[in-house]
Chains A and B, each alone.
Chain A
Amino acid sequence: MQNRDFMQQLEFDMQVCNACRYCEGFCAVFPAMERRLSFSEPDLHYLANLCHNCGACFYACQFAPPHEFNVNIPRHFAQLRGKTYRRHAWPGFLAGLFEKNGLAVSLITAASLALFFLVTFWLQDPAILFAAHTGPGSFYKVIPHNVMVAAFGAVSLFVTIAFLVGFARFWREMGESLADFAKPVTLGVAAWDALRLKYLDGGGDGCTYPTDHPSGARRTFHHLTFYGFMLCFAATCVATVYHYVFRWEAPYPFWSLPVVLGTVGGLGLLAGPVGLLWLKGKRDPETAEPSQTGMDVGFLALLFLTSLTGLALLALRDTAAMGSLLAVHLGVVLALFLTLPYGKFVHAIYRFAALARYALERSRPLPNVTFE
């Protein structure tokens, strides 16, 4: 009983859950599971990515370890999600970056920082780099606008392709068509469930994370992180419009829209990741999956550094430190972008796909596995 291999244990977990069903009200995983009598590998990947890792089912489980059935959905699903990420990574040979992900993220960050410094030194006279610049276009005196656009444009394109390929492979493997994904009901329900983190509430009282006492802390910090990220992204978009449409060059005044969006978002991106890291540190080791800690921490640290360097740049942009801070900030942002497809960020892609699949399944009649 104790020596099942990993996939057998997962299948067994699901058979236990399907025969028990006590956790049905906690989240989407269990109703989705009940539509099945057997669990193929794509089914298991789907259910694992539908799991938000709130921990509620673990503490409620009669069969959780030390019970010999060893049902530990949060941990086993976290392990399987790691496999989902590697399986669908594009290009395939980069899947290895998910192993020792903390190390990979650190090295890529160091390389991006070095790259920006070298490029800046190579392009610019050190006198310019360490001088104070003010007024429109001051950033571009240090790093030319074309260089920024070329670097981030290329990386964004690459990252987008990696996401699309990963998503498409995952979606196809679940046996669904892209046309079904594009249905308004699928996208609408999935977006609504994702944007409010509907399933990160342990069925109402908050999730049992980091301990067995229900709490809303994780959802709050995740919201701060996510919406902080989105506000920063919005700031960039607005600034792009300013630049190309209105021909207004950065830096923009403190009370301009891009700066306000970026500042508010940046504060969220400071508080959110710090909170999530703090909770992670207190997490019950029973439900944690230690092999993923590096990946989680690496991503949160990069988000935090992105915001910290961005806010520092904002605060000191009129001083001689601006040139160095700009290079540091852009180096961190580049590292963040480069590692997006090979780190914790991809959970958003597969989680959203799983939520969309769940919305799609619910719009279909129940399969013939009802018993009354």
Chain B
Amino acid sequence: MTDFARTYDVLVIGGGNAALCAAITAREAGASVLIVESAPKAFRGGNSRHTRNLRCMHDGPVLMLTDAYPEEEYWQDLLKVTGGITDERLARQTIRGSVASLPWMVEHGVRFQPSLGGTLHLSRTNAFFMGGGKALLNAYYHTAERLGIDVVYEAEVTALDIGNGEFRSAAVTHAGATHTVKAKALVAASGGFESNLEWLKEAWGPPAENFIIRGTPYNTGRVLKALIGSGAKSIGDPTQGHAVAIDARSPKFDGGIITRVDAVSLGIVVNKHGQRFYDEGEDFWPKRYAVWGRFVAQQPDQIAYSIIDSKAVGKFMPPVFPPIKANTLRELAGKLGLDPAALEETVTRFNAAVRPGTFNHAVLDDCSTVELTPPKTHWARPIDTAPFFGYPLRTGITFTYLGVVVNDKANMIMQDDKPSRNIYAAGEIMAGNILGKGYLGGFGMAIGTVFGRVAGEEAARHAKS
């Protein structure tokens, strides 16, 4: 039973993957643990609810993972997406730690399955959770319950009492009352600030009003702000977030992975004036989808439309919302609220610029446009076969990069570059140390699992010493 009056060994703020890994590890090391989760039970787990796999280094086939994914290749993949904005020591620690994560996860109830339909390209690198991230969380919460970890939902940390780098207590609001919760060590695993629209607007300006948050509405960044306000050293560009183009009809929060629209590379994308604005065929969609959120954000009213014809049907992962369908482009423009003449002119010019080639969506093929600005460099085919389809697109924020600096013990670093006495951080709140830019599928869960366990171990060690 949760007892707010008691001094716990370890207080874990957050209820996602990193938080649970930390809590379980600390409990198994003998510490008493309280998890404070701001979401109600049904929505517990932050963005981990929406995850599906963990990127895992391995030297030979293991579990469902085929072949090998050696450390160096993993590291090179990370270097590519971050453009070098990473801490190599912590990055390699994560990569190496991912190996031992798998058996630990299985021991604590997580089950794996072969890579999902449509994700064959990940079968070597990413271990998929049976049932996805929510099933993983359920397993961890069952384990936590069995181990005697106290969990309190709908409990928000509103303030932290930190002096000279030492955590003393947290103000926790729960069921209408505010409690001062003391603990010998603190693990901050409460995610980023992507669902805090005000904060996003500070970073992005008014366009942020039109952003859709793909994940939990509970990542408000309150704890992150409190830590930075209490002297934690921050890392990561506050104006940067992982932004993808998603279906404009998605709910404001929590639409998850299913709101993605993978049709972009198979057609054209126009803005509200019916104009194209970027090369839709620049690279394979999984590599490019994370840049399109930014492109859409830069368009007027932060909206765009992916237009395909019937040749593209069945060639991409089915999105959750059916496309808007019409027998002519004029009719489609009308249904999408675009100027029919403008859309028709854009498509006519695009079609005239398409050079004949051999269409192959599996390679960077030779179907491209000539003398067109912007060009479409691959998979360019005339949009001429009715019916035509359109998906409205908006910017969808997955996560933010701003976080607190940690060392290899997940120990939070203060502005004087000294480690805090008893504060540890894990998961998205410190992922910016390792992932300063870009994204690598399943890497967030690797960071959360590896640093969650380190944070739990170190916090317990500190509390017991």
Contacts and interface: CB of A to CB of B under 8 A. Distances in A.
A67 B39 CA distance: 13
Contact of B130 (A19, A26, A61, A372): A26
Contact of B118 (A1, A59, A372): A372
Given A20-B257, A21-B117, A24-B116, A368 B314 contact: yes
B134 A203 contact: no
Interface string A19-30: 111111110000
Interface in B274-318: 313-318
Interface string A331-360: 000000000000000000000000000000
B254 interface: yes
B42 interface: yes
A290 B96 CA distance: 50
A31 B114 CA distance: 12
Contacts of B120: 372
Contacts of B319: 19
The prevalent SS among residues of A at the interface is: loop
A370 B314 CA distance: 7
Nearest to A63: B256
Interface in A1-55: 1, 15-16, 18-26, 31, 34, 37
A291 interface: no
Nearest to B141: A212
A21 B132 CA distance: 9
A371 interface: yes
Nearest to B109: A205
A371 B316 contact: yes
A64 B254 CA distance: 12
Interface in B309-337: 313-322
Contact of A61 (B113, B134, B315): B134
B132 A23 contact: yes
Given A25-B130, A203-B130, A62 B116 contact: no
Contacts of B321: 15
Nearest to B112: A25
Nearest to B262: A371
Given A22-B131, A66-B42, A37 B318 contact: yes
The prevalent SS among residues of B at the interface is: loop
B257 A23 contact: no
B1 interface: no
A66 B254 CA distance: 12
A224 B300 CA distance: 65
Contacts of B262: 371
Given A22-B52, A62-B50, A203-B113, A371 B315 contact: yes
A157 interface: no
Contacts of A69: 251
B378 interface: no
B118 A60 contact: no
B138 interface: yes
Nearest to B285: A371
A204 interface: yes
Interface string A358-372: 000000000011111
Interface in A205-224: 205, 212-213
A141 B322 CA distance: 70
B254 A67 contact: yes
B113 A59 contact: no
Contacts of B116: 21-22, 24
Given A20-B258, A31-B117, A60 B316 contact: no
Nearest to B247: A19
Interface string A55-79: 0110111111111110000000000
A142 to B, nearest CB: 56
Contact of A37 (B114, B131, B314, B362): B314
Looking at chain B, what size class is its interface with the partner chain? 35 or more
B42 A24 contact: no
A24 B53 CA distance: 13
A15 B130 contact: no
Contacts of B50: 62
Given A22-B132, A60-B134, A62-B49, A371 B317 contact: yes
Interface in B127-151: 129-135, 138, 142
A326 B362 CA distance: 71
B132 A60 contact: yes
Nearest to A60: B131
B111 interface: yes
B314 A62 contact: no
B318 A15 contact: yes
A23 B317 CA distance: 16
Nearest to A367: B314
A204 B318 contact: no
- Which of A31, A63, A68, A370: most chain B Cβ within 10 A? A63
A57 B131 CA distance: 7
A266 to B, nearest CB: 37
A272 B362 CA distance: 52
B324 to A, nearest CB: 15
Nearest to B252: A68
Nearest to B259: A19
Nearest to B362: A372
Contacts of B117: 21, 24, 31, 34, 370
A25 B114 contact: yes
A69 B132 CA distance: 17
Contact of B113 (A1, A16, A20, A24): A24
Contacts of B258: 16, 19-20, 63
Given A26-B130, A31-B117, 16 more contacts: A16-B320, A19-B257, A19-B317, A20-B257, A20-B320, A22-B116, A22-B131, A23-B131, A24-B116, A25-B130, A37-B314, A59-B135, A60-B134, A62-B134, A203-B113, A370-B118
Closest 4 CB pairs of A and B: A22-B132, A60-B131, A25-B113, A19-B258
26 contacts: A15-B320, A21-B117, A22-B129, A22-B132, A22-B133, A22-B135, A23-B131, A24-B116, A24-B117, A25-B114, A25-B130, A31-B117, A37-B318, A56-B135, A59-B131, A59-B138, A60-B135, A60-B138, A62-B256, A63-B258, A66-B42, A204-B111, A370-B117, A371-B262, A371-B315, A372-B362
Interface of A: 1, 15-16, 18-26, 31, 34, 37, 56-57, 59-69, 203-205, 212-213, 368-372
Interface of B: 42-43, 49-50, 52, 111, 113-114, 116-118, 120-121, 129-135, 138, 142, 251, 254, 256-258, 260, 262, 313-322, 362
